[in-house]
Amino acid sequence: MGLQPGHPVATFLDNLATVRADRLIATLLLLQARPRVTAAEVARELEVSQRTARRDLEALGMAGIPVVSWPGRGGGWALLGGGRTDLSGLSAPEARALFLVAGIGATQPGGASPELARALRKLAGALPETLRTGAEAAARAVVVDSRPWDVPAEPPPGHLEQLKRAVIERVQVRIGYASRDQPERERTVHPLGLVSKGTAWYLVADTDAGQRTFRVSRIRSLHVTETPAVRPVGFDLEGVWQETLARLAERRLPVAATVRVAPDLVPTLRAVLGTRVGAGRRSPGGRMDLDVQGPSSEIVAAQLAGFGGALEVLGPPAVRGRLAQIGAELTEAYGAA
């Protein structure tokens, strides 16, 4: 037998269908943070109507949350026990770790937003006083500046916020995209995730041709549709991104030169060329052999030429030949000086 109309559980289920879960949680956090609230205060804080706020408060009570109300002037809503229980369920180390990560996220390109600030403020208010001070200090403890030295600051790419919403809400988007060597083309994609790499943002998405990675700064136009996006079962954004990096490295750095250097030069070589310098191997005479990757023989030779005779390039012939040309050009330009 089904529940009769007007039954408390049936009423709660009807209410729940029209109440957003995130708004219920926000309402619960407000009750946790304050000894008593009115429907007008909830409505103002969450930017909803008083009728909606009252319905949300009633839904919490029907769900079994110890919420009580007082009618008339000076009345309102409160949690039994004065809200002294930490409904967030966080321990002190967990609260600090959460606010530390959230604070770091706020300093990333495109990370700072009014929504994040409001979320941190509400969560801080929901924590007991014994946890709140440490959590708020953790949020201000670290600043992450992902820009390399001597690189000017750039604003977040356009369409980033729309893409974030599309990924979270799992809806398809129609983008106009211009790659480096092809004209702009419009296509509809299933957004799966966003990756921040240095100062650049990338969209991982499914397309008719399979999974693709798009640089967000090259998206010229974007329209968010209402069509649900299809997310592959077991999709792992981190794993997919690592595979993408490996494929990009093969395309971006197809040339590898083998160099022989003294061991004390290896740290300098890595400081200048970064991860393009491979693992070292011992060679005769106590020196080290390393592989240095680059996009072309000309660029690899130009980068290694600055080390002069401090290193020996063993191959390939194209890099050695270009180094000989650079040496001859420098001798001709500066040899008589």
pLDDT recorded at residue 12: 41
What confidence score (pLDDT) does residue 290 get? Answer: 93
Residue at 288 is within a domain: yes
More confident residue, 199 or 195: 195
pLDDT of amino acid 116: 63
Q: What span, in angstroms and rounded, lies between the C-alpha atoms of 185 and 177?
A: 5
What is the reported pLDDT for 198?
Answer: 75
pLDDT confidence tier of residue 11, bands split at 50, 70 and 90: very low
Kindly report the CATH number assigned to the domain that includes residue 173: 2.30.30.520
Residue 155 counted as domain residue: no
| Structural domains in the chain (count) | 4
pLDDT value, residue 111: 54
Please tell me the predicted confidence (pLDDT) of residue 105: 59
- Determine whether 240 is exposed, middle or buried from the number of CB atoms within 10 Å of its CB (0-12, 13-18, 19+): middle
The per-residue pLDDT for range 52-76, each reduced to its tens digit, is: 888 888 877 776 677 888 877 777 8
Claim to verify: residue 127 and residue 64 sit in the same structural domain: no
Q: Which CATH number does the domain housing residue 319 bear?
A: 3.30.70
Give CA separation, 251 vs 102, 227, 235, in Å: 35, 34, 24
Task: Calculate what percentage of the chain has a pLDDT beyond 70.
Answer: 77
**DSSP per-residue string spanning 290-327:** EEEEES-HHHHHHHHHTTGGGEEEEE-HHHHHHHHHHH
Q: Which residues contact 138 (CB under 8 A, 6 or more apart)?
A: 95, 96, 97, 99, 100, 103
User: Can you give the pTM of this predicted structure?
Assistant: 0.58
Binned at pLDDT 50, 70 and 90, residue 91 comes out as low
Q: Average pLDDT, stretch 69-91?
A: 68
153 within a domain of the structure (yes/no): no
pLDDT higher than 70, residue 4: no
| Per-residue pLDDT tens over the stretch 146-162 | 677 777 766 778 888 88
- Domain annotation covers residue 329: yes
- 144, part of any domain: no
What is the distance between the alpha carbons of residues 109 and 154, in angstroms, rounded to a whole number?
8
- CA distance to 187, 212, 217, per residue, from 208 (Å): 9, 10, 22
Do 69 and 51 fall within a single domain? yes
Per-residue pLDDT tens digits for 261-274:
999 999 999 988 88
The pLDDT tens digits for 243-255 are 888 888 778 888 9
**Average of per-residue pLDDT across 165-185:** 88
Q: Would you state the torsion angle of the CA atoms of residues 42, 48, 54, 56, taken in this order, to the nearest 10 degrees?
A: -90
Same domain, 38 and 99: no
Same domain membership, residue 97 and residue 67: no
**Domain CATH code at residue 22:** 1.10.10.10
pLDDT at 232 over 60: yes
Kindly report which listed range (43-57, 226-240, 291-305) carries the lowest average pLDDT score. 43-57
Q: What is the pLDDT of residue 203?
A: 93
Where in the sequence is the domain holding 171, given as residue range(s)? 160-248
Arithmetic mean of pLDDT, 306-333: 92
Q: State the pLDDT confidence band at 95, using cuts at 50, 70 and 90.
A: low
pLDDT value at position 26?
75
